[in-house]
Amino acid sequence: MNVSTSADWCRRPVGIIRVEREISKAVYSYCSERLIPVYLDRTHDRWMKVDDSCFQDIMSDSWVSSLEPDKKAASVFKHLQPFTPMNDDQFVTVGSDWSFNIPDRVEKLYGSSRVMVAACYDLIPLLFPEFTPGMEFFEQFNHHYRAVARMAQSVFAISEVSAKSLRDFWDKEGLAHTAPPVEVVPLAAPAPTFSEFDLDDKDFAMLDEIERKGPYVIYVSTIEPRKNHQLLLDIWRELFAERGEKCPTLLIVGMRGWGSEDMIRSAQRMQASKAGKIVWREGLSDALLAQLYSRSAFAVFPSYFEGWGLAATEAAALGKVCVVSSTGALVEATQGKMPSYHPLDFIGWKQELIRLLDDAGYRRSLEKGLDTQLFRRTWQDFGKEFCTTFLGAR
């Protein structure tokens, strides 16, 4: 099991990091006697075994809340041992593999044997290269998924949308006849178990600051062009012009990613921002985030394209409506239970947000539709299905 991505990440887990960590924990739970955690020592271009104590440390909550993340990540090198591949190995690798030529490096170990269990989160750099920082991502993904077609015995996809994207890519490139099967294991959508008792004084202060402003709408996502924050800013410009102090707050939670600085600077000059009706926050605890979801009017996710959309399913798991884009996998992730609009449909989005804000009965009717087991899939459920599907665990 390649745990390199998780080992190198000592901050709050997001996206792929979170999924790799959960799969690693599941493999440990269901196939512990077979599990050998490995780490790619890129300095010496070699795979090394991670000892059990270090693996447990990497999977712990303390690993992703380190005050010295770089120092913590470097500590892995004290716990590495030589790794010897075996003929009957399955090599599970579900991290950010395109950045490090993982299939090629696995091929050096195993030759032409199809040992890899690989992952497909999305093919955004191939489908929408304009939503990546540079063309090197197109080249990385193009090379990576060609190599996966050659080296993998199976591929884990997080959604039917992602699986179809990969199959279509292989078909277009003439690789479908030799490509491995792609199986979908949907991600989890567990309702957080946090309560107010898990908040510290800083969390309470921030919660109070936000709630004092009145009703708010929440968007949780990395801030980058693909996430389409600009649509919401344009809507809030009009809402504030029309409603003034009665305008709800737009709460944007997420790390600042590539290509976001100009948009943020522009947004901070907006009248709505100066009036405190557009608020930006990042680095929040899971407990605080759960409370912010629970106390919001509703959530939004207007991204141009997603391979899944964890934030949308997490909102649903808390019984909150989340208006989503009709493109990508967001409708699939929310099981068709949420209002959805094209990410360029300004009028549709604005009218839906106004209705949700002004028509409490309508909002409650949507929330009642979420009061089911549809959004109670735990990470343990996800991990067990992954191990059953790809590793033959029972």
pLDDT tens column, 8-60: 999 888 788 988 998 899 888 888 888 999 999 999 999 999 999 999 999 99
Return the pLDDT at 282. Answer: 92
Condensed to tens digits (0 to 9), the pLDDT of residues 180-226 reads: 999 999 998 776 666 777 888 999 999 999 999 999 999 999 999 99
Six token digits for residue 129: 């290269």
Start and end residues for every CATH 3.40.50.2000 domain found in the chain:
196-368
Return the pLDDT at 66. Answer: 85
Domain 196-368 matching CATH 3.40.50.2000: the answer reads yes
From first to last of its 394 residues, the chain has per-residue pLDDT tens of 999 999 999 988 878 898 899 889 988 888 888 899 999 999 999 999 999 999 999 999 899 988 899 999 999 999 999 999 999 999 999 999 999 999 999 999 999 999 999 999 999 999 999 999 999 999 999 999 999 999 999 999 999 999 999 999 999 999 999 999 999 999 987 766 667 778 889 999 999 999 999 999 999 999 999 999 999 999 999 999 999 999 999 999 999 999 999 999 999 999 999 999 999 999 888 889 999 999 999 999 999 999 999 999 999 999 999 999 999 999 999 999 999 999 999 999 999 999 999 999 999 999 998 876 778 888 888 989 999 999 986 5
Return the pLDDT at 394. Answer: 56
* Percent of the chain residues past pLDDT 90, beyond the cut: 81
Asked whether 190 and 310 are in contact (CB, 8 A), the reply is no
Six token digits for residue 133: 């920082």
